[in-house]
Amino acid sequence: MKKILLSLIFLYSISSLLIGQTQAGLQKDILISTGTSNVDLVYKVNGRDGRLYQSYIGAKLGNLLSLNQIRDAGHLAYATFGTDNLFEPAIRMTHNDGNPSLELKYVSHNVEKPNANITITHILLKDPEYPVEVTLNIKSFSAEDVIEQWVEIVQKEAKPLTIYNYASSMLHFDASKYWLTQFHGDWAEEMKMQENELTSGIKILDTKLGTRAHMYQTPVFFLSLNEKSDENNGELIAGTLGWSGNFQFLFEVDEKNSLRVISGINPFASEYTLQPGKVFKTPSFIFTYSNQGKGLASRNLHHWATSYGILDGNGPRMLLLNNWETTYFKFDEPKLNGLLDDTKKMGLDVFLLDDGWFANKYPRNDDKAGLGDWQENKTKLPDGLGYLVKEADKRGVKFGIWIEPEMVNPKSELYESHPDWILKLPNRPEHYYRNQLVLDLTNPKVQEFVYNTVDGMLTKNPGIAFIKWDCNRMMTNAYSVYLKDKQSQLYIDYVNNLYNVLDRLRQKYPHLPIMLCSGGGGRVDYGALRYFTDFWASDDTDPLERIYIQWGYSYFFPSVSVCNHITSWGKQSLKFKTDVAMMGKMGYDIPVNELTEKELKFSQDAIANYKRLSDIIWHGDLYRLASPYEGNRAVLMYVNSAKNKAVLFAYTLNARYGESFNRIRLQGLDPAKTYKIQEINVPTEGKHTGGSESGKTYSGDYLMKIGLNAGSSTALTSNVFEITE
Ligand code: GLA
């Protein structure tokens, strides 16, 4: 991509003219506008003090003259600590002479335009007394209305200095009220939504898990301004941090009811030594602004994510049969050959062999041993992975494999041979989680080991077509032998070195599909997803629970990235399970040989339907029509960009006596087009309800103003409609 460096002298002089406040002896004010198609984020350099302020964030301004009318609220764009700021700073450091303050003044800015859609603005700030430079970077994606912000800090003092706070982004809002929506959870109960009004003082969303961002809190939020927003109404931003470790979103409402939002790596126990000349680069804070509710915000993020946030987000995906819940650790070659047959029989693309295939001295027959010893187990796989790749090939399907290369069981050869490669505290007993410990990725030898584990396996077996990369624990025992007296850098160096390993692997294997897993959905963030094609959303595959979990993810992550498998969890019908899995990236983890003939036929047909419609589900526009948080049903639909094809999913969660659901108004269609409604995934046996609209034809106008009778009033039933112009 050709980078065009645009001088902003023109904007500089125009904006100075516009502001018209320049006085003799003072510098001119400078406006720096960093908008997208529908959003403006505007900064102003105040000529009187040389500092950079945030002037405006919100809907696109008709012209910059409007900014003259805005009362200057004095919102520092990147507030420092130690001079006159009395609220939470974006950055705090101690210089090597012990001075604990930082002052930042504007120096210059420039704009890069890598292509028509992307604009990157770099604003250079500097301490007038100390050789410390801070560059604010703002990357705007015009068509998607998404903005990415990150910061680079460089110091040129003679000796190292220490930074304590180093936010990726600081944003200010002036609204009458603020409503924060957050997503909390735990293992098997990810993405539970809560919404609360922010009151004076500080509210923090964060995690301190080390190896992953997500588990108890997901690194995402909605912030609604003035009033609560719903799917189609309300002003809000949707924000997320691209970082697979400790994160922090801090919301501070001050005495004037102004809100500052500070997003970045969690500064908790993470002071960082900055060596002279070294650049400290923060991860990206990614956000969109919408004045048409959460629905538009999600679609903006989905569009951004498929093009820029997820590896090959616009590309196709292969459908999996996984063996985890079918076999757990108990399998051998004949059993796996049977599962390869099943993959073919179902019409799926890849068989994914999960945990349990490796280690010999301490065989991986449960989760207590073997992790770290990545050689095929000779009893279970006497002919090695190569044999399975060939067997898959014979059947016209692909072979994929599970790994967890960042971890080790104490009962392993790796633990015995490299105790210094493992995070554990001196003078303390080892603390286990799932009987395992974390390898010290800050150590270059460990980075090499992780890289070689994956690369070695792929070099030996080039036919491996899919990987599931797991990370089954968070960091306790957080002590690195390698880091010596720099222990507080562990949380940051771990994640950056994980990214370095992934960068190397992606240079060699740019498009190999890899699913990101972390004991279920423990590592769902856009820092990691640059390297991964999809993620395992939760170990909880009960379809009723999944409706809520998937609903939660759908606010921030496109369905092409959310792996939903049909499993034995939950007592609902196979149809209900299938319909729930279909709203994302569908896969299977059931004993196919136990399906009745009718169930097998139903599944084969459903897979064929899914393959026909998956492009619309993965890359179409999502409209959430009825929320499971607000009633007894969940309804959503995807529409393709030509608006000639849509898929609607309706799930009835609970049925109260006498409750009947009204018609649901569809969205995103073309009012002038006529659509045929066709129910799909109709079971060949069992009671079926709610498909009365199948076969009918309506105008888009009718469907969007009057609506469709979608779904039934029987609990735990579902209906899927294919809607075709
Ligand atoms: C984690 C994953 C599961 C499975 C197991 C294997 O819990 O979330 O899907 O891969 O590990 O041990």
DSSP 161-217: EEEEEE-SEEEEEE-S-EEEEEEE--TT---EEEEEE--SEEEEEE---SS-S-SSB
pLDDT top residue among 7 and 693: 693
Calculate ∠ Cα 611-612-614, nearest 5°. Answer: 60
Lowest-pLDDT range, 408-422, 446-460, 688-702?
A: 688-702
**Residue 488 located in a structural domain:** yes
Using DSSP bridges, classify how beta strands 350-353 and 320-322 pair: parallel, antiparallel or unpaired. parallel
Q: Does the pLDDT of residue 713 top 80, yes or no?
A: yes
Q: What's the pLDDT score for residue 613?
A: 98
Cβ–ligand 1 distance for 472 under 6 Å, the answer: yes
- The residue from 618, 645, 669 where one domain ends is 618
pLDDT grade for 240, boundaries at 50, 70 and 90: very high
Ligand 1: atom nearest CA of 402 is 10
If you measure from the C-alpha of residue 352 to the centroid of ligand 1, how many angstroms do you get, rounded to a whole number? Answer: 12
Residues 13-25: what's their mean pLDDT?
36
**Those residues with Cβ within 8 angstroms of residue 110's Cβ, 6 or more apart along the chain or in another chain:** 5, 6, 7, 8, 121, 122
C-beta neighbour count of 355 within 10 angstroms: 21
Cα dist from 37 to 43, 140, 147, 465, 648, whole Å: 17, 9, 11, 39, 29
Do 570 and 717 fall within a single domain? no
Half-sphere exposure of 190 (CA within 13 A, CB side): 33
**Ligand 1 atom, smallest distance to 367 CA:** 12
pLDDT band at 69 (very low <50, low <70, confident <90, very high): low
Tokens encoding 223 = 């912030």
Residue nearest to atom 1 of ligand 1 (CA): 519
Q: Is 114 in the same domain as 172?
A: yes
Give yes or no: residues 297 and 178 share one domain: yes
16 pLDDT higher than 60: no
Q: What is the DSSP letter of 498?
A: H
Q: Cβ neighbours of residue 369 under 8 Å, at least 6 residues apart? A: 359, 362, 363, 409, 411, 412, 435
The pLDDT tens digits for 287-310 are 999 999 999 999 999 999 999 999
- Taking the centre of ligand 1 as the mean of its atom positions, its distance from the CA of residue 20, in whole angstroms, is 62
Cα separation, 639 vs 670, whole angstroms: 10
Q: How far apart are the first and last CA of the chain?
A: 39
What is the distance between the alpha carbons of residues 322 and 324, in angstroms, rounded to a whole number? 6
Q: How do residues 318-373 score in pLDDT, each as one tens digit?
A: 999 999 999 999 999 999 999 999 999 999 999 999 999 999 999 999 999 999 99
Strand partners of residue 201: 253
| Side chain identity, residue 209 | L
3-state secondary structure of 440: coil
198 and 337: one domain? Answer: no
The residues, ordered by sequence, that sit 6+ positions from 566 with a Cβ below 8 Å of its Cβ are 541, 574, 577, 578, 581, 586, 587, 588, 589, 590, 603
Indicate the residue among 618, 650, 681 that finishes a domain.
618
Ligand 1 centre to CA of 519 (Å) is 6
d(CA 69, CA 297): 28
Residue 539 Cα: closest atom of ligand 1:
8
Per the structure, the count of domains in the chain is: 3
Residue that terminates a domain, selected from 262, 280, 309 = 309
Q: In testing the pocket of ligand 1, which one of 324, 516, 566 has its CB within 8 Å of the most ligand atoms?
A: 324
Residue 145 CB burial class (10 angstroms; 0-12, 13-18, ≥19): buried
- Check whether 494 has a pLDDT greater than 60: yes
CA–CA distance, 239 with 225 (Å, rounded to integer): 14
pLDDT at residue 364, rounded to an integer:
98
Residue 708 has which token pair? 């469709």
Sign of CA dihedral 188, 190, 195, 197: positive
Shared domain check, 630 and 614: no
Atom of ligand 1 nearest to the CA of 518: 8
Q: Please give the distance, rounded to the nearest whole angstrom, from the Cα atom of residue 403 to the centre of ligand 1.
A: 10
Do residues 563 and 648 share a domain? no
Asked whether residue 158 is assigned to any structural domain, the reply reads yes
pLDDT tens string 515-561: 999 998 989 999 999 999 999 999 999 999 999 999 999 999 999 99
Are 574 and 720 contained in the same domain?
Answer: no
Assigned domain for 190 exists: yes
Tell me if 400 CB under 6 Å of ligand 1: no
Residue 450 lies in a domain: yes
407, 378, 270, 344: which is closest to 607 by C-alpha?
Answer: 344
- Whether 566 is in a domain gets the answer yes
3-state secondary structure 255-289: CCCEEEEEEEECCCCCCEEECCCCEEECCCEEEEE
User: Do 216 and 328 sit in the same domain of this protein?
Assistant: no
Q: What's the token pair of residue 404?
A: 């967890």
How far is residue 288 from each of residues 106, 258, 304, 465, 556, measured CA to CA in Å?
Answer: 26, 20, 10, 35, 10
What's 340's domain CATH number? 3.20.20.70
367, 402, 468: which to mutate for ligand 1, most atoms within 8 A of CB? Answer: 402
Give one DSSP letter per residue of 44-78, joined into a string. Answer: EE-TTT--EEEEEEEEPPS-TTHHHHS-----BTT
For tokens 């469907």, name the residue: 703
Both tokens of 345, joined, read: 């029989």
Q: Is 520 in the pocket of ligand 1 (CB under 6 A)?
A: yes
The model's pTM? 0.96
Residue 314 lies in a domain: no
Instruction: Please tell me whether residue 537 adopts helix, strand or coil conformation.
Output: coil
Q: Whose CA is closest to atom 2 on ligand 1?
A: 519
Do 254 and 380 lie in a common domain?
no
Least confident interval from 9-18, 170-179, 293-302: 9-18
Q: With bands split at pLDDT 50, 70 and 90, how would you rate the model's confidence at 562?
A: very high
CATH of the domain at 241: 2.70.98.60
Share of the chain above pLDDT 70, in %: 96
211 and 97 part of one domain:
yes
Choice from 407, 539, 546 to test ligand 1 binding pocket (greatest atom count within 8 A of CB):
539
Please indicate, yes or no, whether residues 636 and 586 belong to a single structural domain of this protein.
no
Task: Tell me the three state secondary structure of residue 687.
Answer: coil
**Ligand 1 near 376 CB (within 6 A):** no
Q: From the CB of 402, is ligand 1 less than 6 Å away?
A: yes
Q: What is the CATH number of the domain that holds 626?
A: 2.60.40.1180
Whether 526 is in the pocket of ligand 1, judged by its Cβ within 6 Å, is no
Residue 384 alpha carbon to ligand 1 centre in Å: 22
**Residue 315 lies inside a defined structural domain of this protein:** no
Domain span at 537 = 320-618
Mutate to test the pocket of ligand 1, among 189, 355, 473, 564 (most ligand atoms within 8 A of CB): 355
CB of 525 shorter than 6 A to ligand 1: no
pLDDT tens for residues 680-704? 999 877 678 888 899 999 999 999 9
> 354: Cβ below 6 Å to ligand 1?
yes
What was the pLDDT predicted at 1?
41
Quick check: is 429 in a domain? yes
Distance set, CA 44 to CA 65, 199, 237, 330, 473 (Å): 13, 28, 21, 64, 45
When pLDDT is cut at 50, 70 and 90, the band that residue 63 belongs to is confident
User: 561 and 458: one domain?
Assistant: yes
Provide the residue count of the chain.
725
pLDDT mean over 18-23: 36
Which region, left, alpha or beta, applies to residue 570 given φ > 0 means left and ψ of -120 to 50 means alpha?
Answer: left
